[in-house]
Structure 1
Amino acid sequence: MTSMTQLCRKIVHFNVKWRLLDRVVLFRRFFRFLWDRILMCSLGKPPRYRRLPRGLTSPSPTTNEGDMVLRERVSTSSDYDMDSDLVSLKISVLGDCQIGKTSFVIKYVGEGQEQRSLQMAGLNLMDKISFVRGARIAFSIWDVGGDYQSLDHVPIACKDAVAILFMFDLTSRCTLNSVIGWYQEAKKWNQTAIPILIGTKFDDFIHLLPDLQRTIVTQARAYARAMKATLFFSSATHNINVNKIFKFITAKLFNLPWTVQRNLTIGEPIIDF
């Protein structure tokens, strides 16, 4: 009985030490992330005004979504140690709860990066490095929770972001109505970011009645015009328009060719700009 009690105490002690160690690692990553952001801010001109060298040839493409040549890989902690010449771009993700924001981001950065993401109450931070015309682009994605408690994270998430993704569930019109509130809140802290309106769960949307689909498309397009935003319908489950959205952001920031056509056909993933 005594040996069993001692064993239980050792297990509890081990669990406590493990949790403390996990907390220490989390805080170290958080402060390192903040330090990287401070260093970027001290560089002067924001990266959104930089042009990529046109004489450089990009690596062979590994994806056929979209027309812009782009190869991507998930970043690791050593990337920031060795690659001090990275162009780092901050992107914010806003929208209600349970609409697929985090699934969308994980689909883009890769499931392996989810294990290395920085998670706090109401805020997830994920990174991914892309190669464009021989240059390295590091996307830093700030995914804000959709509850009222997470509103406190909106200022830090939106400040200095080059693009803000306003997301809603295509099968839930109330989440679309909430977009205007998220947009107004974000504009308090960032007036220059590229706004993008994204409808998620397109794979569920196509099973709605055609008249309801048409109503949602009309309303979403009206909101996008009011926000001066580009509209995408997407699906993280089937990887519809996920990579294409980040290619669009890169093309806008660096004045790269963008030849994707508008698609306003009901029943297909809408792209409107």
Structure 2
Amino acid sequence: MAKRMDIGESALTDEDSATMATAPYNYSYIFKYIIIGDMGVGKSCLLHQFTEKKFMADCPHTIGVEFGTRIIEVSGQKIKLQIWDTAGQERFRAVTRSYYRGAAGALMVYDITRRSTYNHLSSWLTDARNLTNPNTVIILIGNKADLEAQRDVTYEEAKQFAEENGLLFLEASAKTGENVEDAFLEAAKKIYQNIQDGSLDLNAAESGVQHKPSAPQGGRLTSEPQPQREGCGC
């Protein structure tokens, strides 16, 4: 479930990032994701569609960050995704930037019907490159692919931008669910590949990956925060 952390609540560090009560730990890795992009591009709707299999229309805009989790499978390995959805407003950038650190994957979202959100991608990419580790997997997502009649950014130009900057790319629709699964899974596959070929150091604190969580019975495991409020924002 996606959960909201409002701007008035303290921003969590990676150490705070986490803490989770024991439950069956039927997964081998935890990957930390962030979702970035302008306000209103549908970041929270993508998160909600991925974690809840539902589209939330008319969601309030995210204030601060929201958080969601889901277990997926890549190459026979169960992987838990910790997903941080950041507010797109400029006034929250200083706070949301603190969540970039230690991200294994970044989903950079624009709205295919609003060219301004595409034009701002270079700024978002600069933040992602500067604030994450060199092996962070960044995937570009053109959201609202269901609004083809209102398209303002072509698939071809976005694909070229992605290729020039070494990004994965696809278009998706948080409303219909088209390619939403693929967006999260493709990033996870690339991260897992980086683990397998040794280019991602699991011992590095900034890797954004934890391996084979374990905890004594009745104990606790460092992993994820537990914000108190719930909500969905775009």
What's the TM-score once normalised by structure 2's chain length?
A: 0.67
Alignment partner of 1:192 is 2:135: yes
Residue in 2 aligned with 1:245?
Answer: 183
Greater RCO (CA < 8 Å, at least 6 residues apart): 2
Residue in 1 aligned with 2:192?
Answer: 254
For each residue in 1:97-134, what CA deviation from the matched residue of structure 2 results, as whole angstroms up to 9, or x when unmatched? 1111100110001169x9xxxx9832111111224455
Structure 2 unmatched runs, 5+: 195-234
Q: CA deviation at 1:217?
A: 2.3
Larger Rg: 1
Q: CA deviation at 1:167?
A: 0.4
Residue in 1 aligned with 2:221?
Answer: none
1:121 and 1:100 map into 2 onto residues whose CA distance is: 14
Further displaced range: 130-139 or 165-174: 130-139
1:234 and 1:134 map into 2 onto residues whose CA distance is: 25
For each residue in 1:14-55, what CA deviation from the matched residue of structure 2 results, as whole angstroms up to 9, or x when unmatched? xxxxxxxxx9xxx7xx87985454x8xxxxxxxxxxxxxxxx
How well do the aligned residues superpose, as a CA RMSD in angstroms?
3.3
More helix per residue = 1
Residue in 1 aligned with 2:45?
Answer: 103
Alignment partner of 1:179 is 2:124: no
Residue in 2 aligned with 1:231?
Answer: 169
How many residues matched?
182
Instruction: Classify the secondary structure of the residue corresponding to 1:171.
Output: coil
Give 1:1-273 correspondences, 5 Å limit. Answer: 34-35=15-16, 37=18, 80-83=22-25, 86-110=28-52, 121-132=63-74, 134-190=76-132, 191-204=134-147, 206-208=148-150, 216-255=154-193
Percent of pairs with identical residues: 21
Instruction: Confirm or deny: 8 A CA contact 2:112 2:118 kept in the other structure.
Output: yes
Distance change (3 Å), C-alpha of 1:32 and 1:82? farther
The residue type equivalent to 2:158 in the other structure is A
What's the TM-score once normalised by structure 1's chain length?
A: 0.58
Q: CA deviation at 1:248?
A: 1.1
Residue in 2 aligned with 1:56?
Answer: none
Instruction: Confirm or deny: 8 A CA contact 1:109 1:126 kept in the other structure.
Output: yes
